């Protein structure tokens, strides 16, 4: 089904022009980010007014201990950051500053360390040539001053906020429990390098805090598919990486590299094996490469 769907998208995407495709992605991204933000605000209201506490989900909010994390229309905050970062690349490329600002705020409210790190790196790569410009330095200093003032006058004096920040920092010391989980999974891999079969992760790590994901795409593939699955998966990543670099080098277009970079880094801390995302990324890469090649010929 994956192969059939992939080739179907290759044919369908040939009907789009690059600009039309980008406009479509930005339009979908705008509604998704805005809708997720509103859904989160509604979740805050439901959580605050609910007589029953302790549930995990409140509309667009996921309550993790004391953190009200934004998940929007995704299953979890870790899934939301994949959508948000994907759209952020296109927002930055088209200089949609209002959407960029709203996306960054949403990423902050997701309380995802991985998402914030990738967000910073995307900005750094996107604006690398402008970093030393006086205008960029000025706006950066203004932003830092605003954050410092917010911290001093609001966050530092708010016990609830400080407690959430301290709790999150403590969790980050152990990779939010991921390091112990990965060591646990490596024992299974060491016992069977050929893999345990597709969709067996939930069963294998059920005894480890009742988790259902390894929170690492490479280890997830290694655990279920063994050496053969891992090699095929890395080959797929390498193919996308080469396409992204060629497009950036010969057409001065860094979007596909940023998308690859985002998925690869996110895959180190989360399970990003969503079929739709993978196919969508590959198809867009094909579209960019094929259209540009046809123009050059």
User: What pLDDT score was predicted for residue 231?
Assistant: 94
pTM over 0.85: no
User: What pLDDT score was predicted for residue 175?
Assistant: 45
Per-residue pLDDT of 207-266, as tens digits, reads 766 666 788 888 888 988 899 999 998 888 888 888 888 888 877 888 888 888 888 888
Q: What is the mean pLDDT of each run of 10 residues along the chain (297 residues)?
A: 69 69 87 95 87 74 84 88 91 90 91 88 79 66 72 61 57 60 86 84 73 81 91 87 83 83 83 68 67 56
Per-residue three-class SS string for the chain: CHHHHHHHHHHHHCCCCHHHHHHHHHHHHHHHHHHHHHHHHHHHHHHHHCCCCCCCEECCEEEECCEEEECCCCCCHHHHHHHHHHHHHHHHHCCCHHHHHHHHHHHHHCCCHHHHHHHHHHHHHHCHHHCCCHHHHHHHHHHHHHHHHHHHHHHCCCHHHHHHHHHHHHHHCCCCCHHHHHHHHHHHHHHCCCCCCCCCHHHHCCCCCCCCCCCCHHHHHHHHHHHHHHHHHHHHHHHHHHHHHHHHHHHCCCHHHHHHHHHHHHHHHCCCCCHHHHHHHHHHHHHHHHHHHHHHC
């Amino acid at each position: 089904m994956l192969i059939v769907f992939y080739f179907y998208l290759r044919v369908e995407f040939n009907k789009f022009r690059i600009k039309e495709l980008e406009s479509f992605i930005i339009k979908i991204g705008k509604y998704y980010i805005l809708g997720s933000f509103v859904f989160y605000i509604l979740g805050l209201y439901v959580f605050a007014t609910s007589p029953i506490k302790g549930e995990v989900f409140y509309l667009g909010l996921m309550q993790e201990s004391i953190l009200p994390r934004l998940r929007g229309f995704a299953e979890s905050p870790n899934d939301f950051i994949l959508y948000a970062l994907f759209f952020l690349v296109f927002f930055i490329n088209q200089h949609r500053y209002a959407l960029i600002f709203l996306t960054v705020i949403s990423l902050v409210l997701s309380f995802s360390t991985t998402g914030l790190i990738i967000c910073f790196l995307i900005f750094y790569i996107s604006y690398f040539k402008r970093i030393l410009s006086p205008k960029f330095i000025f706006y950066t200093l203004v932003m830092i001053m605003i954050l410092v003032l917010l911290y001093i006058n609001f966050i530092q004096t708010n016990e609830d906020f400080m407690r959430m920040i301290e709790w999150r920092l403590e969790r980050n010391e152990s990779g939010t429990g991921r390091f112990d989980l990965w060591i646990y999974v490596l024992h299974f891999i060491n016992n069977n390098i050929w893999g345990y079969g597709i969709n067996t992760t939930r069963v294998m790590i059920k005894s480890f805090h009742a988790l259902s994901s390894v929170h690492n795409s490479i280890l997830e593939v290694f655990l279920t598919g063994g050496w053969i699955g891992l090699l095929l998966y890395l080959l797929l990543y390498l193919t996308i990486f080469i396409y992204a670099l060629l497009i950036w080098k010969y057409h001065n277009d860094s979007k596909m590299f940023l998308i690859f970079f985002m998925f690869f880094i996110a895959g180190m801390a989360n399970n990003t094996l969503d079929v739709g995302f993978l196919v969508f990324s590959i198809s867009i890469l094909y579209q960019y490469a094929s259209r540009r090649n046809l123009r050059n010929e």
